[in-house]
Structures are given as C-alpha cells and as structure tokens.
Amino acid sequence: MIGWIKDIYQTLFRFARFPCEPDTVLIGNPDKSSPVLVTCNFDYTVRHLKDYLEKEQLDCFLLVVNTKGTNVWCAAAEGIFTTDTVLSHLKVYNVGELVNHHQLILPQLSVAGVKRKELKEHGWEGIYGPVYFADLKEFLNNGLTKNKDMQALEYGYWERFKMGLSHAVFCTLVCIVPIFLFASDYWIQAIVLVWYFAFCMQLIEHFIPFTRLLYKGLVLSLPILALVLTSVKDPVLKIQVTMGIIALGAYIGYDAQGHSHLGQNQQSGKLFTMIFAFLALVYGGTLLL
C-alpha cells in the first residue's frame, strides 16, 4: 500500500527530486563473477528495479549512484550522472574487490553523461544495457547483447499520461499566482485550461505538424480562442483573454521541453521571451483603455 502511495506521489511530482541513500546493494546471492548494474538514486527507479531483480532471482550487485534523487536520463543530461560520479562510487564502496571482472552494466539512457572511453581509462569496461530494465534478464542471458527491441525507446500513451499529470501539477503551481492576480473571477476555468494544455502537450502534440513544442502550444490555443472569442462580448476583455490564452499556451508548450523525451534539446528561449514581451505589452495597453 505504501508503495502505491509513493508511486502516485512521485508521479504527480515527478519534476521534484526523490533521493534514496546511495549504496551498493547485493541482490540474491552474488559472487565475484556476478554482474554489476549501475543506476541512479531516484527512489522510484530503485524501488521498482530492486523488485524486478528479486522477482527474476537475478544474482547481482546493484550500484545506486548519487544523482541527487534525479532519474537517469535527466541526471545524465544535467551533468549529475557522469563518469566521475560512477568512478567515485566505485572507489568509495570498493566495488573492485567484490568482483573478479571490471564490467559495469550502465543504463542506456545514461549515455549523455557516462562515457565508456573514460571508464576504460580507469580500468573499467562500461556496457550500455537495455532501455527498460524489464529486458535485463534476457540481456544477461544473451551474453550482454541487445536486440533492436531492447534499444528502442517507447513513449506510449500510458507514459505520456503520467508525464501529463506531472506537467499539469507543475504548471498549476507556477501559474496559480498569476491566475489569481489577473483572472481571479475565472480561476477555475484558468486551472482547467492549464490542465488542458499540459495534457494535450503530452497526449496529442505528435499529431501537430511542427517541430518546436512552443509552436505546438500556440496551435493548441486556437480552439480555445475560437470558443472564447465567440462568447466574450466586451472588446477590452476579449483582447485580455486572448493575450492570456496565448501566453498560457506559449508557456506550457515551451515548458514541455523539459517534460518531453522529444524536446529537451530545443532552443526556443529567445523566441518565447519575444512572444511573452509582446503579449505583456498588448495586455498592458488594454489597462489604459
């Protein structure tokens, strides 16, 4: 029961850090020839990975490396999960004395931070494992070789839905003060709109024929604008609402770069700033009318 509660909480607040203690964990009854797996100290990952390894009765050493509670992919991209991080763990926990080999099975999604060439310079062979730990047993049984399916990253609708929940919670926390400052009479509608954008940016953005997530957010504002502009009669309020909807769509689209597997390398900051400055200028002008 506690595990389910943790899963729900850590899914809703996935953008936060949830560290567990760095450690070298013995799974089953490993000996000196047993494989050495490396992961981050993101509590959600560690709990589920340990459950999987124990269920499959895989005897191994699990290195829970200190990434400050950040998941593998984000930690590698942020420069937290690096070769130095792994080497430091190996030294502190004397991992070299536990095994008679120098092979480390690394998460494939750590490739941005952990470099095999640098590990080799320190006497360790890094081997990138499958994308999903559910394939680890087959990977180990196949002599540490991966087929194409093990290398494929799937971003299906269940994962998109969970990411949408986290994105919606994060954007609500960011937008709640502006909402009550500028749209206090419509705060319920505004929060619903935040969730609309956040979920759409995860569930249907791939159907919108633009590369930049910022543009996708702006496109998603169009049906809401059409609905609002046909129902709002006051011309000044109409302009203000239009600016607010576009601003919200632009912000959530831009912010989705950090909540999507597809947009983390996009550079849209300058364009986003220009759009926001223009919207703020127009909105400010309406206050003089």
* Per-residue pLDDT reduced to its tens digit, 199-246: 999 999 989 999 899 999 999 999 999 998 898 888 999 999 999 999
Whether the pTM exceeds 0.85: the reply is no
More confidently predicted of 186 and 195: 195
Checking if the pLDDT of 186 tops 70, the result is yes
Distance of CA 3 to the CA centre of its chain: 20
Give the C-alpha separation, 239 to 258, whole Å: 30
What's residue 288's pLDDT? 79
Query: Could you tell me the sign of the dihedral formed by the alpha carbons of 78, 130, 89, 124, in that order?
Result: negative
Pairing of strands 36-40, 60-65: parallel
Which pLDDT band, with edges at 50, 70 and 90, does 175 fall under? very high
Which pLDDT band, with edges at 50, 70 and 90, does 260 fall under? low
Distances in whole angstroms, Cα of residue 85 to Cα of each of 13, 90, 124, 147, 242: 25, 9, 14, 28, 48
Which pLDDT band, with edges at 50, 70 and 90, does 261 fall under? low
Exposure on the CB side of residue 54, measured as CA atoms within 13 A: 9
Checking if the pLDDT of 13 tops 80, the result is yes
Q: Is 278 left (phi over 0), alpha (psi -120 to 50) or beta?
A: alpha
Q: What is the mean pLDDT of residues 13-38?
A: 94
In the chain, CATH 3.40.50.11600 covers 2-151
Q: What is the mean pLDDT of residues 78-93?
A: 94
Tell the residue number behind the tokens 């030294």, with chain if given.
91
What's residue 41's pLDDT? 96
User: What token pair was written down for 71?
Assistant: 């998941």
So what CATH class is 2-151? alpha beta
Give the C-alpha separation, 10 to 261, whole Å: 18
Q: What is the mean pLDDT of residues 19-23?
A: 94
What's residue 89's pLDDT? 97
Give the C-alpha separation, 50 to 57, whole Å: 10
User: What token pair was written down for 253?
Assistant: 């689209």
Amino acid letter, 176: I
* Per-residue pLDDT reduced to its tens digit, 122-161: 999 999 999 998 999 999 998 888 888 888 777 789 889 9
Order of strands across the sheet that contains 60-65: 23-27, 60-65, 36-40, 103-106, 125-128
Distance of CA 215 to the CA centre of its chain: 20
Distances in whole angstroms, Cα of residue 148 to Cα of each of 21, 71, 104, 129, 200: 34, 23, 21, 12, 30
Nearby residues of 4 by Cβ (< 8 Å), 6 or more positions away: none
What's residue 148's pLDDT? 84
